[in-house]
Structures are given as C-alpha cells and as structure tokens.
Amino acid sequence: MGMQILLFLSIIITIGLGILYLQALRQARSLKTQIEAYSAAQKELLSRVEFSELLDSVLREVIDDGIVVLDANQRVLFANNKARELADHEMVGESLIASLRHRGIDELLLEVIEHDEQSYVQQLLNFNNNIKLDVQIHRLQKSKRETFYVLLLRDVTALKRAEVARREMVDNITHELNTPITTMNLVVETLDDDDILRSKKGHKILKEKISDLRRSLGVVTQLIEEMKILSEIQSGVLPILLQPTPLLPMIESAIAPLHPLAADHQQQIQVEIPDDIIVYAHAYYLERVVKNITHNAIKFSPENGIICITATQDEQMVTVAIKDNGIGIPADQLPRIFERFYQVDRSRDRARKNGTGLGLAIAKHIVQKHGGEIWVESEEGKGTTFFFSLYKDTSS
C-alpha cells in the first residue's frame, strides 16, 4: 500500500514538473520573441536616429538656403549653417529679432502669427545693405498646443545681379546691332545712288562704304559667335578637343582680324612668342580667348597704344600674357571681371558702348575647359595684363 502511494506521488510530481517545464518553455519562447521584437525595435529606433542625424546634418551643412525653426514663443529652436552665417552668430535660444536683427523679417513673422487664415508669407528684402533675401515663413500647426514657424532664407543677390546684367546685355546687343544695320543701310543707299557712283569721288566713297560694311559685319559676326558659344556653355556641350597645336600661328590667326581696328586707333599689336612652343588646345576656341582679350585691350587703350602678347613656359605649362597700356581696371571691380554679362562701370563710356559683357566670361570657361587658369593684373591709369595657362606638349 505504501509503495502504491509513493508511486502515485512520483507520477503526480513528474506530471507537475512536466507542466512546469512546458510553462517555462512557453515563457522562454515568449521572452525570446519579445527580446527579438525589442531588438528589432531598437534597430529601427537606431536607424531612425541615424537618419534624423543625417537629416540634421543635411539641413545644417548641405542646403544652401538658410533654415530657422521657431517655437510658439518665437524662440529659435534650430538654425542651419547658412542661417547662422547670415546672422553672424549662434541663434538657438534667441528671439527672431535678436538673432537676425531685421525689422522686416520680424514684421513678416507677426503677419503670419496675427492672421490665423494665413499660414505662409513671402517677400524679397534687403539684408545688411548688400544682400537680397527671398524670405519665406511657414506656420506648422502640429496640434492646438504645438505651433512652429519655419523660415527659409534664400540669398538671391547673384540672381538679381544677373537679371540686371541680362537687361544691360540686351541694351548692349541692341546698340551693337543698331550701328552695323545703319551702316549697311547707308551702303545700300550709296550703291543705289547712280549720281554718287558716277561722280569723281564715287569710287573713293564706295571703298569707304565697303570698309565700313566690312567692319560692321565683323561686329555682327563676333556677336553671333559669342552668343553661339554662350549657348554651348549653358547647355554643357562645349566640344573641346585638345590636340598638339603650335602656339604662335594660333595667336597670329586670332589677332589677324583685329589689326584694322587697332590701326584705326593708331595702335600696334606686338607678338613676342617663340615659334617652337606647342600646347594642347582646341584652336578654334582658344583663338576666341585671344581675340576677346585683345579686342578689349584695343578698346581700353589710348591712341598710339601698344598691345603686347608674350608667352613663358616651364616644364609643364605655358603662360600667355596679353598686356596693354590702357586705362586699367578699378581694384574693386577686378573680382567680378570674369562674371557673365559684367562690364566695368560707366566711367569707361567709350568702351562700354561696344560689347555684351560676355567676352571674358567665355574666355574663362574655355581656358578652364583646357585645364588651365586665367587671371588679371591691373593698375588704373597704367594698364592691364591678362594671363592664361595651357598644358604644354612635351611629347617631342
């Protein structure tokens, strides 16, 4: 009887232990599932944190526009690098007016705050005298209690400057075309006038008109070439093909059409370049560089002036210098001299009447496509020297 009781108890205990084991196994499996779920959630959270940090980095360092986030009390919660650059100091924690110190921007913010139906405003404002900012302010209503304001500050100074320059370019092109067209009309009228042609001076007058016509056609041709190259630059398809090219013949070919213009001003173009220098170049486009710079030298030099073209070389590079003894360029305008459409100020009226402001910008782009550099040195009243470098052919 005692043995039966012991056996029964043993069975009960074994069954109980089995049940406990199964329960423990289920709990272990459940715990494992929870751990795996927690691990996945942790990985997702870390991934989101990493993405958030990446986004923060992009907002701070990559985006060119200034970004400022304000809380409902108009305190700065976030400001990226561009915004801090405009403010010239750290902004977080400050009010908008204290951080940017600009009454116009503060008034735009108040306009959004005071008009519930208006969640967005935009206005072009002058900032610190020399910067034009396109300011956008957005209200973000996350909930009834949470309101944020996002400011986008876009520096459009260069864009507005380019718009002015383009308008001036159109005016200049109109003037450039007006003179040749007038000359052509005069030539046509002369050719159509039998009395002039039959007169004693008819032959001389005809030659003068033909000379005027040739000069006018040269102006129109240059304008067309500049606009064509500008179009190629803007479309990114400037077909530069570098090959070994003798420098001296290329320079002489480029300036050949300019000798009559220089002669009209009693100027000389001197070329002092060794005939054994060979560079890697696309002759057509590099001739355009030389022609543009030399043409400017003629325009800005006095009568009896001298334009001198020289070249120096080292083991790898050739540097071409085009020097004039003209009126020079003001020091404050030198940094902008290669900007597209830019022309030196109106004190140089005689020269400003001719040109589109594209020549030097085109020259810079072409030289850079050749792998070289272009720069200028100038002193008012004494003259200007333009330099550009090219790779030398060292294969021979």
Q: What is the pLDDT of residue 351?
A: 45
Cβ distance 96 to 106 under 8 Å?
yes
Alpha carbon distances (Å) from 82 to 61, 62, 108, 148, 396: 8, 9, 20, 20, 51
Q: What is the pLDDT of residue 260?
A: 87
What string of pLDDT tens digits covers the 396 residues of the chain? 556 666 656 666 666 666 666 676 677 677 767 766 766 666 665 555 454 454 455 455 556 788 888 888 888 888 888 888 888 888 888 888 888 888 888 888 888 888 876 677 888 888 887 888 889 888 888 777 788 888 888 888 888 777 777 777 677 677 667 777 777 777 777 766 766 667 777 677 777 777 777 777 777 777 777 778 877 776 777 788 899 999 999 999 999 989 988 888 899 999 999 999 999 999 999 999 999 999 989 988 888 889 999 999 998 999 999 999 988 888 888 888 887 767 765 444 444 445 567 788 889 989 998 999 999 999 888 899 999 999 998 876
Residue 63 to residue 58: CA distance in whole angstroms: 6
Helices (H), 257-348: 259-264, 283-299
Cβ distance 306 to 268 under 8 Å?
yes
Beta bridge partners of 381: none
Degrees, nearest 5: CA angle 268-270-273:
170
Helices (H), the chain: 2-57, 81-87, 96-100, 103-114, 157-191, 194-198, 202-235, 247-255, 259-264, 283-299, 349-352, 359-369
Token pair of 213 as six digits: 């016509």
How many CB atoms lie under 10 A from the CB of residue 274? 11
Backbone angles phi, psi at 16, to 5 degrees: -65, -45
Residue 140 to residue 138: CA distance in whole angstroms: 6
Backbone angles phi, psi at 27, to 5 degrees: -65, -40
Residue 343 to residue 351: CA distance in whole angstroms: 10
Q: What is the pLDDT of residue 128?
A: 80
Instruction: Specify the DSSP element, H or E, that contains 308.
Output: strand 306-313
Q: Which CATH topology does 62-155 take?
A: Beta-Lactamase (3.30.450)
> What's the burial of 306, exposed, middle or buried (CB within 10 Å: 0-12/13-18/19+)?
middle
Query: For the chain, how far is it from start to end, CA to CA, in angstroms?
Result: 118
Q: What is the pLDDT of residue 353?
A: 46
Q: What is the pTM of this model?
A: 0.55
- What distance lies between CA 396 and its chain's CA centroid? 39
Q: Which of 324, 231, 243, 323 is nearest to 286 (CA)?
A: 243
- Homologous superfamily of 161-391: Histidine kinase-like ATPase, C-terminal domain (3.30.565.10)
Q: Which of 276, 298, 281 is nearest to 245 (CA)?
A: 281
Question: In 3-state terms, what secondary structure has residue 135?
Answer: strand
Cβ distance 153 to 135 under 8 Å?
yes
Q: What is the pLDDT of residue 56?
A: 53
Cβ distance 301 to 289 under 8 Å?
no
Q: What is the pLDDT of residue 98?
A: 86
Q: Which of 113, 144, 109 is nearest to 123 (CA)?
A: 109
Q: What is the pLDDT of residue 349?
A: 45
Residue 386 to residue 293: CA distance in whole angstroms: 7
Cβ distance 252 to 279 under 8 Å?
no
* CB hemisphere CA count around 61 (13 angstroms): 6
Q: What is the pLDDT of residue 246?
A: 95
Q: What is the pLDDT of residue 359?
A: 85
Domain ranges of the chain: 62-155, 161-391
